[in-house]
A and B are shown apart, each in its own frame.
Chain A
């Protein structure tokens, strides 16, 4: 039977009203925009952006002064009767990053989703602005929700706002991608819901703090944990549950892809972190963390290799998102020590990686969108010469990629250092290899794209007839560049007030170290790109052509066939029945790992 509810000494902290505002303002903005309609809708939405950003920044500044998490009790009722909103350091940084990215995307989208003159109301802008604010409100609820059922509602809101973004253009293939996304996400949310029912039945509360005091490793908890985790993995698109991600992220309009790839998948990832680190740090056990990271490693391998074989730029970026999601899940085993998960350096590393991916990937999708707008296509083989037309966008793309490789002073560099340090401390050298491999693969597809962009062209670039240079507004390019720079500078922020960064993990800003840490992944990545990429003019124009053909030729042949095998395996895994069966198999596997591998 459920234990009697223990009294919790929780009260509303000062400044906690900001948490309510962080949810209410975007949602009120969405409602107001809906009511205003037509041309005023966009103005309302754009006016909401700075207010929301100010609230997020205010929360981040209030937190260190009090030193404790912000807590707001809705209606003054303390859990387990009431529902609490809580913001700790993780929430604060995610709130700010989400606000930054949403604001940048909002201004970026001003050019694409502008109601044309002479039209009272257009469908795409009308939907876009409301959906953007809806996603923001849902994300903020995910970050500050203090109750597993609140998180469920937030997760559903996030999915419902994200799915229509995929099919704003109304083409059949994007509609199909949206429907696949919705149906698979619903399967995930049902699993999560069953888990909450089990937890409520076992412990009589869904409040995160109360649950963490009561929870212990019994069968109901293990089943609930594995159901909820796998449900969330389906929404995060961790390999092999990624069938919906590539078509959805590649088919959405640029601003939509940016918000989907940068933020929406982070929402469900954040709930996995909450569940494993805050609700039940002692329940999962060693084997379950290894299983999660194993899936992450497979995601890095499959995502990166298939990304290298793509012909279209947006699909390449979508597959790179898949690999980067895998990278995030390496957090779990590295945070595991002496029987439970610890919120230490590894968790900070994972969150930093999530943040730098959010900013960098948004920048990359924005520049890919601008390239598409200028050329009328995004075939990688046809990108030659675009650097002269859109230098700023290409720079943003390159900087975003470089930031993701993990070059100082980027956030991803600091994340990599933290994760490597945790791998050393917990003596798990195999994850250190995967971490390095992730950086190398990232540089491989960056090199592949840049090599095509910078390739010498014989004839001048043919722009889309009606698409002159002037049609790409300067501020869109500037915003992409700004986000990429933001990702590159994240490592310089003092995170101590929000994330636990162990002493000694400081950025070294010596030029020699910077160069070496940047150069070797790029060099190895370049080799990988040459071996695995699809080159129209093979062999590439490199010195010692004869030698390279004699030596590299056979290696490339086998690498290509390995890549082809991986791509074929990926297309089988992306079949609906296969993904569904994997979903069920993972629930069983994860449950078994938690039960046996303790």
Chain B
């Protein structure tokens, strides 16, 4: 098994685990972490793509690396924004849930338990 295949499979496993977490886990913080896991898988996949390009005789295709750096910056800012929103939601509602049928009501009436 070549290095490309191994890393490709690892990337697929990370994406799969992350997708499972994002879809099934009800807690927003875990969803954010799972999203980062998907991101790591995708970035590894970009590495595999760069490695395949290198097989043509180059030392490595630099463009996927450039794309990955941009992708990491985007994922970092996304995580920061999501965490900031989550913190504000927790401060305003006293709990953090994404369930549509249980809207946080404590925000409008802080006296309620």
Contact = CB atoms under 8 A, between A and B. Distances in A.
A163 B83 CA distance: 13
Interface of A: 1-2, 149, 152-153, 156, 160, 163-164, 167, 170-173, 175-176, 178-180, 182-183, 186-187, 189-190, 193-194, 196-197, 200-201, 204, 243, 247, 571, 574-577, 580-581, 583-584
B23 A200 contact: no
A175 B92 contact: yes
A302 B28 CA distance: 28
A577 B23 contact: yes
Contacts of A163: 81, 85
Contact of A576 (B23, B82, B103): B23
B30 to A, nearest CB: 11
Nearest to B79: A186
Contact of A153 (B74, B86, B93, B99): B74
Contact of A197 (B55, B64, B85, B97): B64
Nearest to A204: B53
A156 B77 CA distance: 10
Given A172-B92, A194-B42, A580-B23, 15 more contacts: A149-B67, A153-B74, A164-B85, A172-B104, A173-B104, A175-B88, A179-B85, A182-B81, A182-B85, A189-B74, A190-B35, A193-B42, A201-B48, A571-B100, A576-B100
A180 B22 contact: no
B92 A170 contact: yes
Interface residues of B, number: 48
Query: Which secondary structure characterizes the binding site on chain A?
Result: helix
Contacts of A186: 35, 78, 82
8 contacts: A163-B81, A172-B107, A176-B98, A180-B100, A186-B78, A197-B49, A576-B99, A576-B100
B26 A576 contact: yes
B89 A190 contact: no
Q: Which 8 A-B pairs have the closest CB atoms?
A: A172-B107, A580-B23, A172-B93, A201-B49, A172-B92, A175-B89, A172-B104, A179-B85
B98 A581 contact: no
A576 to B, nearest CB: 6
Contact of B101 (A196, A204, A571, A584): A571
Interface in B30-46: 31-32, 35, 38-39, 42, 45-46
B34 to A, nearest CB: 10
B85 to A, nearest CB: 5
Instruction: Kindly name the residue among B31, B45, B53, B56 whose own CB sees the greatest number of chain A CB atoms within 10 A.
Output: B31
B19 interface: yes
A571 B103 CA distance: 14
A194 B78 contact: no
Contacts of B78: 156, 160, 182, 186, 189
Interface string B71-113: 1001001100110011011001100011111011111100000
